[in-house]
């Protein structure tokens, strides 16, 4: 058996509303015999996360797989190993702002943490 990493991208739609769609990117770790089986397992796992529901604000929400944007074989899981890397052309100003805000939020959690 081999190990693979897949990046699943889900589109989060608010149906019948003028709200902007969102996207979730999810990395999954897969054990499979080959790349084709890893792809099939990725599709099966993604299918379990596709849902529709009415949220607390009475919006009809649909979580649907937009695609698998990365699938590659990796070695066995070891401590301190890179799981995923992707080079992007550029971030929009809004994406840069969101990235900085998320990084600051995580950093703040550990400012007074011992040994940091």
Q: State the maximum Cα–Cα separation within the chain, in Å, rounded to a whole number.
A: 50
Contact 27, 7 (CB under 8 A): yes
Rounded Cα gap, residues 102 and 109, in angstroms: 11
Over residues 34-88, the pLDDT tens digits come to 999 999 999 999 999 999 999 998 989 999 999 998 898 987 766 666 666 666 6
Q: Tokens standing for 114?
A: 């011992």
Check: pTM over 0.85? Answer yes or no.
Answer: no
């Amino acid at each position: 058996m081999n190990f693979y990493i897949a990046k699943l991208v889900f589109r989060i739609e608010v149906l019948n509303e003028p709200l902007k769609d969102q996207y979730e990117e999810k990395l999954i770790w897969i054990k499979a015999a080959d790349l084709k089986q890893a792809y099939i397992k990725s599709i099966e796992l993604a299918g379990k996360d596709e849902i529709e529901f009415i949220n607390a604000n009475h919006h009809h929400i649909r979580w649907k797989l937009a695609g698998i944007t990365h699938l590659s074989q990796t070695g066995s899981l070891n401590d301190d190993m890179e799981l995923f890397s992707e080079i992007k052309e550029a971030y929009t100003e809004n994406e840069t702002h969101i990235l900085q805000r998320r990084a600051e939020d995580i950093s703040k959690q550990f400012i007074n943490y011992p040994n940091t």
